[in-house]
Amino acid sequence: MENNKYFIGIDIGGTKITIALIGEKGEIIYKENLQTRENLDKNIASENIINTCKKIKNNFSSKNILGIGIGACGIVLYEKGNIKFSPNIGWENFEIVKNLEMALGLKVILDNDANAAAWGEFFLNYRETFRNVICITLGTGVGGGIILNKKLYRGSSGTAGEIGHITYIHNGKKCSCGNNGCIERYIGTKGIIEFAEEMLVKIKNKENPSYEKFSDSMLFDIQKKEKILMPKFIQEAGFKGDKLALFIWEEFGKILGILIASMINIFNPDAIHITGGISHAEKLFIESLKKEVEKRAFSVPRETAKIIFSEERQDMGVIGAGLLLMEN
């Protein structure tokens, strides 16, 4: 048997369950997808996941497989090894860790998918150089993963890191969480789209003389054609020099900068790691972001904290899940 360590990673998402054999450098040796819709019953899911893991164990019996790490969407009880509620799939009280440990005789760790991905990023990129890293994932939501002293910080009941739901405007827009004015509501996908749409209305209505320069924005045409002004369209327009698109990204950078400055003042981290589709637009918002951070963060922690944008690495969910076994 070779000396290298291997892990089975399981990434449970709303549309598919990915199961993979992962090496200790994060390499994927083998990967298989199950369709979530065929696993809505948790007993069936349990059986299918166990069978796939068994197959991997048998097919790679020469490899030193140390355990299984699971990253799951929904509310996950880390210490109990229980998926409490997974709204997209409908599972409740799924004791997945116990099931898998009994059937497979391997150590199993369960965490939420954001933590698993953040851990993967930290372990593969930063563990030699940094101790404290705040990971921010920008997408539909704004997710957080907190790594302190080289370990995931999970909080007292496993829910730490909901940085998308700190209050940005206290009497602001209603968020999906029920609260008003969460920062996610402004820099998540929905917030960006809404801001762009609101701007188009204001420009049409000539609400503000300073918006006149935006009146020939290509976003008007794009909206007609595409119906929804997805961030990728605003990004393309920005790279083509469209003034309104550039303005939208500038505003986005300001708000993200405020979030980052608060994280720097609270955590004094070595780095803020930012991933998600929107990181492609980095060049369009980095200046306004940096200006805001410089204005708002204290100098000592600001000089310490590196702000790093990275494309979301495909399969980081399943890789990070597998690597959870390397946390302790």
Chain contacts with a second copy (rule: CB under 8 A):
75, 130-132, 144, 146, 148, 153-163, 165-170, 177-180, 254-255, 258, 261-262, 265-270, 295-296, 298, 300-301, 304-305
The CB-of-59 to a second copy minimum distance in angstroms stands at 39
Q: For residue 328, count CB atoms less than 10 angstroms from its CB and return exposed for 0-12, middle for 13-18, buried for 19 or more.
A: exposed
The CB-of-190 to a second copy minimum distance in angstroms stands at 19
Asked whether 316 and 121 are in contact (CB, 8 A), the reply is: yes
- SS3 for 248-271 is HHHHHHHHHHHHHHHHHHHHCCCE
Whose Cβ is closer to a second copy: residue 38's or residue 298's?
Answer: 298
The CB-of-75 to a second copy minimum distance in angstroms stands at 7
Whose Cβ is closer to a second copy: residue 63's or residue 273's?
Answer: 273
Whose Cβ is closer to a second copy: residue 54's or residue 295's?
Answer: 295
DSSP conformational letter for 188: S
The CB-of-131 to a second copy minimum distance in angstroms stands at 6
Angle between helices 231-239 and 219-226 (to 10 degrees): 150
For 123, phi then psi, to 5°, come to -65, -40
Residues in Cβ contact with 161 at an 8 Å cutoff, skipping those fewer than 6 apart: 114, 115, 118, 143, 144, 145, 146, 153, 154, 155
DSSP conformational letter for 38: G
The CB-of-81 to a second copy minimum distance in angstroms stands at 16
Name 6's bridge partners.
23, 65
Whose Cβ is closer to a second copy: residue 28's or residue 308's?
Answer: 308
Q: Torsion over CA of 11, 17, 23 and 29, rounded to 10 degrees?
A: -160
Whose Cβ is closer to a second copy: residue 141's or residue 322's?
Answer: 141
The CB-of-175 to a second copy minimum distance in angstroms stands at 10
Whose Cβ is closer to a second copy: residue 9's or residue 145's?
Answer: 145
Name 85's bridge partners.
75, 92
The CB-of-169 to a second copy minimum distance in angstroms stands at 8
The sign one gets for the Cα dihedral 328, 325, 58, 101 is positive
Asked whether 28 and 128 are in contact (CB, 8 A), the reply is: no
The CB-of-298 to a second copy minimum distance in angstroms stands at 6
- Tell me the helices (H) and strands (E) count for the chain, helix number first: 11, 13
Whose Cβ is closer to a second copy: residue 35's or residue 208's?
Answer: 208
Whose Cβ is closer to a second copy: residue 71's or residue 144's?
Answer: 144
Both tokens of 305, joined, read 């904290």
The CB-of-269 to a second copy minimum distance in angstroms stands at 6
Instruction: Give CA–CA dist 264/259, Å, rounded.
Output: 9
Whose Cβ is closer to a second copy: residue 30's or residue 153's?
Answer: 153
